Amino acid sequence: MNQETIEKYILGELKGKVLKDFEDKMLQNRDLKYEVEKQQRILEEMVDNGAEKYIKLKNRLEGIHQEMNIVEQVPTIQNSKYKIRKISGWILAGAAMFLLLFLAKAFLLKPSYTPQELFAEYASHQNISLIEMGEQDNVMLQAQEFYNQKEYDKALPYFDQLLNKNEAQFDLQLYRGICYLRNNQYDKALQDFNFVSNSKSIYTQQAYWYEALCKLKQNKIEECKDSLNKLISKYNNFQPALKLQEQLDKL
């Protein structure tokens, strides 16, 4: 599936059977579904930084390109009407070149990503499953459902109830920290991540990772790098951290 089709889906340009076929493919292809969700998150973060201007310019360029193609297909008829249309093609070409130069200055000369775009790319997480077969824990079920639905503010009270019973549930501590992070409650998020990262649980690596992402979301680049270095020193083969570290060095 090419990037153009994904972009058209996100922008709502796919219709009818094409749209249905694409959504069917997403149901069957987890990688495609992940890529679409990632692009949607990036677009959401970019909107706040004026990326809608880029979309408008891109659409304008495509319109110019189509109009120029029409001009090229006009039969060779030696009359004034044809000459005028031919000249308009050169004008359109000049306009297209101007817009391309504008795009290069406004976008291409900047880094291809911002801290918020990087956060949107890396801060994805899978749905959680807290309820075992046959269990009837309504509080845990509510925490799970609201978390998986990305309604983090609603999930938080249920995680609080569960952790009040037993604080040393490192998975719940991590998930509550992610809820705080998504709600921009950074101090509380870091408190939960630090609690888990200082444990000897299987969630320690993820806690280190989310500590770094928490600082990234706040645009604290140097602190994020420090957290990544700490993570890599303990888990030197953790590829997302290595990749993010490399991207941050280019900012």
pLDDT digits (tens, 9 = 90+) for 159-207: 999 999 887 899 999 999 999 999 999 999 999 999 999 998 999 999 9
Query: Above 50 in pLDDT, residue 71?
Result: no
pLDDT confidence tier of residue 108, bands split at 50, 70 and 90: very low
- Range scoring the smallest mean pLDDT among 21-25, 68-72, 210-214, 221-225: 68-72
Query: Above 70 in pLDDT, residue 114?
Result: yes
Query: Above 60 in pLDDT, residue 231?
Result: yes
If one counts every other C-beta atom within 10 angstroms of the C-beta of residue 224, the result is 24
For the chain, the 3-state helix, strand and coil shares in percent, each to the nearest 5, are 75, 0, 25
Q: What 3-state class would DSSP assign to 180? A: helix
User: Does the pTM exceed 0.75?
Assistant: no
Domain 118-248: assigned CATH number: 1.25.40.10
- Range scoring the smallest mean pLDDT among 102-111, 116-125, 145-154, 192-201: 102-111
pLDDT confidence tier of residue 56, bands split at 50, 70 and 90: low
Query: Above 50 in pLDDT, residue 35?
Result: yes
Give the angle 49-52-55 at the CA atoms, nearest 5°.
135
pLDDT at 64: 53
Which letter does DSSP use for residue 106 in this model? I
Query: Above 90 in pLDDT, residue 88?
Result: no
Instruction: Delimit the CATH 1.25.40.10 region(s) of the chain.
Output: 118-248
Per the CB < 8 A criterion, the answer to whether 189 and 180 are in contact is yes
CA atoms of 141 and 162, how far apart (whole Å): 11
